[in-house]
């Protein structure tokens, strides 16, 4: 199952508005267009004559064992893609041995999702009314989330290139906000999101915090200084500030600045095992994928999600083996230039 | 309102000759084609976890307060785009809190425009007969212009790729030359335009002088040495020397050469707030936009102009906020690479 | 006879499945697309006023004289392209004064091919069951192969972009495996292929060993340390790890690392004499071509193979002469940048 | 008159075979495609506030005064483009105040051409039978040629991408070879062309010698050491070794190596005044144009040639003026990057 046919097939089964909602970027969509190309621009340098009879993709993220370094990025409103929404995503992710980062803008209750999930982390938007966010964080901790992923690149939602999105169907309900007016600034992302929010959420739940949306070494350090335990290098799927440095370009700077202090993950345009290999060779502990999971969900529910993840994991295992690399820990800087 | 649809919509309402007159570049139109691409080639590096609850685009240019760093570049013959010509442009610009640089090749008297305008600067061509230019400068000073913008990149008008322009309609009257023969070299740009012209216009009016059309550090210093108070890095909309260094490439060199001696502005291919952010991050005090204002004028007169400027200002404010930058003064070199 | 028409003409006479089998790359086919472009990106710097009345393309590879530095790369299943299969290829190669690297995945017995061939080398896959490979190596030595070319970049076969290949016609018989199940891991490439295999094959046959599929200087040295007598810089026709460094980029690194210790050959996207000249200028002793030989075979059997090789050799001689270079040994680093 | 329409208009009036003969490049036509792009890739850095009331394009080449730095490159068989052949070219070139480099493969006798020409140089191929070349050189000296331009990049003619050229019409007679068999190696370019040929032609005629076809600094010095008085950086219209370094890239290296020892000229893809300005800014004394002259000749005979040259000269004067440069001598390295 390759990238282009997957998206094309999903597009064929999704209502056009929903497809556009998932596929769109912000601004002129430069970042959206740049990401894959930026991975491809890095050339691989395979090792030879290594015994690759047993290649493993198994690793740990914040101490949690996963069968694959390909994790599921948070994305909103899975109910638009499939009636079972995030419950199906959680099921497929668990079956693939991966880890789900559940969006706070989910269609289903986090408790329902948790019941179906393997290991999972809760993505957090810090809202104007901190109480709403804190409530989600507490519920997530109670439901077994192993970490909070605090999105730090959305002080507010960027504008889309062709104005506001089409009206979403009634299924587009954000469970965490149920009963509240999404146009009320209290229930929108907080423009004064700051280091203190990271500290508070961490203290509130006792969970490790992952800062998502980092593109600079100094800003990564700033997140760690605020209490974050890990960072995700991310361009938010090309949906926030348009024209930012592509993740593969930002990644080595962040890895160098963070050193051994924390794990670094990366997302953005990762569509093949050779992309995963490049990311790990550049120092990422794991990667996250967003849209491919949505396409799999749209096409086949939990099974579709599992297939997409299994396929990427198999493609990663192949890339490892062909590069003479036997495990995520074995993926070194020498493999890429 | 995005760039492409805006131009396409304006094209649909303008006579073809007029559209081509506004849209064309000179030579092989390489510079015209390069400009936007050159801005996009610079990647943004957003800051995180800054309080962006109150982002302001307010700044000053030569001491004049403006609500936005997006100023209106001088362009000729607004009467071709709308019956009210520059009066409408001035009105829309004032309503948007911006500043108008009024072309000396305007369709309307500068006094009429001044009456409708907020803060405005008078663009000057130095003509063969200095007396004609000086008369415009004096009238501008009397009518309240706050500065003279002396165009330094037009010792003569460059040739267009497909020969001379089509015959313009009767509305294409340059008010400042009314009653004079535009083919007479005395009423054309002076090929011996020199430092002394800057000094003389400054002394004549007591107004600050801005040199427009600078693309090198040493030439910027030369303008300041001649008495200029500020410079505009500009490729003249791709309508003069074709193949010049794009403004975003020239800007850092000019900023470095000028240092704290003067304000530096920039124009050329700026179509989004992320372009404005890049320009300010590279050291520009403000930017100017030309064609988008003409498209707005053609589509909606003063309202159209205001909408285009408001849209670019809102897009700038978004870009600031998403980059963790709260004001023009806060836009630093770290934001771009 | 130029590259594009040749492939197009061959495509017209081949069954679609067979054409696709020969033409396809792996993954997203990035490497397949990159190779020719990477050669073209290197500019030639011709010498002048040299006497080029007698330009020779004659050289030696591992001591064997060849009339041309353009050798025939191993490729599988020539029986799909022509009823006479590798026997026709061997005949055409001999007539062109070149050297054949016979694939272990040939349609015909190596003894039949040897009877028709001029100088030839036997390509080896090390299989799970070493005995099968060793048997081929012994037969090859007995039949007069002058070297073994051990493929080191296939611990297993990479996946193709659109899933498994179409079912091949009955003529697609790999002679060396006749009577064995190709799905049995014992008869597939060994993922634990290692330095010891090189040493064993060398000792077993007393033949020199060429390691094929090297893209790094350190890995080239590793192959030599394992006993290899020469290396081939190769991207395996874009059919193994996708996204690797193109051969012309890897070649200088390998040449520098190997120094005078061994001969270095190169393949991948070489389609003109100016490509051959670049390769030799960068330090390759000879080049190998794969698909063009298959196209010639499909179009004209032995004659077609000879014509393709003669054409490339003539094009190489022209490139030498026009660059002021009189022989392979005269092709220096100064000729390319 | 711009480049694209000019070629398109000429194509419309020329027999297809003749158009292809003039337009074609060699090999894969990479060099043909690269040349203009390589000039465009250099950005201009205009000076400001210079008095450009009187810009001159007048200069000297080897001491001969010309009204323009745009000279006419040698090209073969003008009789194919116009019944008057090189006589018309010479007339138009003289009327434009330029200098003609007359090809040795002309359709008309050099004496006829000389009678119509202003200042002119004779292009020389050194043939297998030196006597034939020497005879042309002596006749040229007697007829008033002011220099010999010895082509050094054609030890033999490169192959065209689609095999041999179509049969040329009877008008395709090379006058200098009349009565001799063009397939006889004695009447073809000498592959043993060497430094001694430059020395001999110089001594034979007492004329200065210009070496045409240089792309390296060391090779330029080699030509001067052999007795050449000037060199032409040239890719031979993309018709000899394909894939060479583009002239704008080679030019600075040659200029640096030659220093004050000799004049350096350049050709290849020069189509606008801004290209001429770049060439002179990089140190060329003058440029040569080939195909545009042929197109002008095809379209209007002597008048067509004059118009093309006048247009390029006017475009050069404009580029000079807009860059603040008043003469060829004033075109400095600061103008380009």
Q: Where are the domains of chain A?
A: 3-43+57-84+104-287
Looking at the complex, does the CB of residue A49 fall below 8 Å from at least one CB of chain C?
yes
D221 touches D262 (CB < 8 A): no
Residues of C whose CB is below 8 A from A278: 243
The C-alpha of C297 sits at a distance from chain A's nearest C-alpha, in angstroms, of 30
Query: B158, B238 in Cβ contact below 8 A?
Result: no
pTM for the whole thing? 0.94
Give the pairing type, strands D148-151 and D209-214: parallel
| Pick among A27, A37, A155 to test the B interface (most B CBs inside 10 A) | A155
Q: Inter-chain contact A156–B322, Cβ cutoff 8 Å?
A: yes
Q: Which CATH superfamily is domain A3-43+57-84+104-287 in?
A: Aldolase class I (3.20.20.70)
**Which pLDDT score is estimated for C160?**
74
* Residues D279/D251, Cβ–Cβ less than 8 Å: yes
CA dihedral for A246, A250, A252, A254, sign (positive or negative): negative
Interface test with D, best of C36, C48, C317, C331 (most D CBs within 10 A): C48
pLDDT values of chain D reduced to their tens digit, one per residue, 337 residues: 344 589 999 999 999 999 999 999 999 999 999 999 999 999 999 999 999 999 999 999 999 999 999 999 999 999 999 999 999 999 999 999 999 999 999 999 999 999 999 999 999 999 999 999 999 999 999 999 999 999 999 999 998 765 555 556 555 567 777 778 878 889 999 999 999 999 999 999 999 999 999 999 999 999 999 999 999 999 999 999 999 999 999 999 999 999 999 999 999 999 999 999 999 999 999 999 999 999 999 999 999 999 999 999 999 999 999 999 999 999 999 999 9
pLDDT tens-digit series, residues A284-312: 999 999 999 999 999 999 999 999 999 99
Closest CA to C82 of C70, C73, C91: C91
Residue C316 · residue C323 · CB < 8 Å = no
Q: Which tens digits make up the pLDDT trace of B187-223? A: 999 999 999 999 999 999 999 999 999 999 999 999 9
Distance, CA of B105 to CA of B149 (rounded, Å): 13
- Kindly give, in sequence order, each residue whose CB lies less than 8 Å from that of residue A308, ignoring residues fewer than 6 positions away: A1, A6, A92, A289, A292, A293, A295, A296
By the CB < 8 Å criterion, does A158 face chain B? yes
Q: What is the pLDDT of residue D2?
A: 47
Cα→Cα distances C88→A276, C115, C305, Å: 43, 11, 8
Bridge pairing between strands D64-66 and D59-61: antiparallel
The mean pLDDT value of chain B amounts to: 94
Whether ipTM tops 0.90, in short, is yes
Binding partners of C (≥3 Cβ pairs within 8 A): A, D
DSSP string, A197-238: HHHHHHHHH---EEEEEE-SHHHHHHHHHTT-SEEEE--GGG
- How many CB atoms neighbour CB C225 within 10 A? 12
Which of C3, C43, C82, C236 does the annotation list as catalytic?
A: C236
CA distance A228 to A149: 9
* Chain B residues 10-39 with CB within 8 Å of chain A: none
State the SS3 of B48-101: CCCCCCCCCCCEEECCEEECCCEEECCCCCHHHCCCCHHHHHHHHHHHCCCCEE
Q: How far apart are CA B249 and CA B241, in angstroms?
A: 16
pLDDT of residue A67: 98
pLDDT at B306 over 90: yes
User: Which residues have CB under 8 Å from D54's CB, separation 6+?
Assistant: D326
In the prediction, which pLDDT does A37 show? 93
Q: Catalytic annotation on A236?
A: yes
Question: What is residue C287's three-state secondary structure?
Answer: strand
At least 3 CB pairs under 8 A between chains C and B: no
Q: Closest to D45 (Cβ–Cβ): which among B27, B28, B215? A: B215
Distance from CA of A18 to the nearest CA of C (A): 27
Contact (CB<8Å) A159/B315: yes
**Is the pLDDT reported for residue B3 higher than 80?**
no
Inspect the interface and report whether the beta carbons of A194 and B272 lie closer than 8 Å. Answer: no
Query: Which two structure tokens, joined as six digits, stand for A161?
Result: 């290139």
Given an 8 Å threshold on Cβ–Cβ distance, is B2 in contact with A215? no
pLDDT means per 10 residues, chain C with 337 residues, are: 75 93 92 93 97 97 98 95 96 98 94 97 96 95 98 91 56 70 88 97 97 98 98 96 97 98 97 97 98 97 98 97 98 96
Cα C324 → chain centroid = 27
The answer to whether residues B24 and B239 touch, using CB atoms and an 8 Å cutoff, is yes
Of D53, D272, D334, the CB nearest to B27: D272
Handedness of CA A36, A38, A40, A46 (dihedral sign): negative
Give chain C positions within 8 Å (CB) of D153: 46, 48, 322
Residue identified by tokens 């995520």 is A328
Q: Which of D79, D116, D71 is nearest to D232 (CA)?
A: D71
A contact test, residue of B4, B7, B46 with most A CBs within 10 A: B46
**A30-50: per-residue pLDDT in tens?**
999 999 999 999 999 999 999
Nearest residue in chain A measured CA to CA from C153: A48
- Pairing relationship of beta strands C286-289 and D209-214 according to DSSP bridges: unpaired
Q: Among candidates D270, D236, D238, D296, which has minimal Cα distance to D5? A: D296
Q: What is the pLDDT of residue B1?
A: 39
pLDDT for position A164: 53
Separation of alpha carbons C301 and C304, rounded Å: 5
B40/A28 touch (CB, cutoff 8 Å), yes or no: yes
**A54 to chain B, closest Cα gap in Å:** 40
Q: Pick from B191, B211, B223: which is nearest to D53 by CB?
A: B191
Query: Chain centroid to CA B19: how far?
Result: 19
Report which DSSP code applies to C239.
Answer: T
> What confidence category does residue B148 fall into, taking pLDDT thresholds of 50, 70 and 90?
very high
State whether residue C146 sits within 8 Å of chain A by CB.
no
Lowest mean pLDDT among B273-282, B318-327, C162-171, C262-271: C162-171
pLDDT of residue B320: 98
pLDDT at D295 (0 to 100): 97
d(CA B201, CA B193) in angstroms, rounded, equals 12
Number of neighbouring beta carbons within 10 Å of residue B328: 22
Distance set, CA A58 to CA A120, A255, B114, C101 (Å): 16, 21, 71, 40
**Residue C72: enclosing H or E segment and its boundaries?**
strand C70-72
Measure the CA–CA gap between C188 and A321, rounded to whole angstroms. Answer: 15
């Amino acid at each position: 199952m390759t990238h282009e046919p997957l998206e094309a097939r999903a597009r064929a089964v999704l209502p056009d508005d929903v497809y556009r909602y998932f596929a769109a970027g912000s601004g002129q969509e430069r970042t959206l267009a740049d990401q894959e190309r930026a991975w491809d621009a890095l050339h691989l340098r395979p090792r030879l004559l290594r015994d690759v009879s047993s290649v493993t993709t198994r690793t740990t993220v914040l101490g949690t064992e996963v069968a694959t370094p390909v994790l599921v990025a948070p994305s909103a409103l899975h109910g638009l893609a499939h009636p079972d929404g995030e419950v199906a995503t959680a099921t497929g992710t668990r079956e693939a041995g991966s880890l789900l980062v559940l969006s706070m803008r989910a269609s289903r209750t986090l408790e329902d999702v948790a019941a179906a999930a393997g290991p999972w982390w809760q993505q957090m938007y810090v809202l104007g009314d901190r109480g709403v966010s804190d409530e989600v964080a507490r519920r997530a901790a109670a439901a077994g989330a192993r970490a909070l992923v605090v999105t730090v690149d959305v002080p507010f939602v960027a504008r889309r290139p062709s104005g506001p999105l089409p009206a979403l169907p009634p299924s587009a309900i954000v469970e965490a906000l149920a009963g509240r007016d999404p146009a009320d600034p209290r229930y929108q992302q907080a423009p004064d999101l700051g280091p203190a929010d990271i500290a508070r959420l961490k203290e509130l739940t006792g969970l490790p915090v992952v800062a998502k949306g980092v593109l600079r070494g100094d800003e990564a350090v700033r997140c760690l200084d605020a209490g974050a335990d890990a960072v995700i290098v991310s361009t938010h799927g090309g949906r926030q500030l348009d024209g930012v440095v592509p993740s593969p370009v930002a990644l080595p700077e962040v890895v160098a600045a963070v050193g051994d202090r924390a794990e670094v993950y990366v997302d953005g345009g990762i569509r093949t095992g050779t992309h995963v290999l490049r990311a790990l060779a550049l120092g990422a502990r794991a990667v996250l994928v967003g849209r491919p999971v949505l396409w799999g969900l749209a096409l086949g529910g939990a099974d579709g999600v599992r297939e997409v993840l299994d396929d990427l994991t198999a493609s990663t295992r192949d890339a490892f083996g062909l590069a003479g690399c036997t495990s995520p820990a074995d993926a070194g800087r020498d493999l890429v230039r």
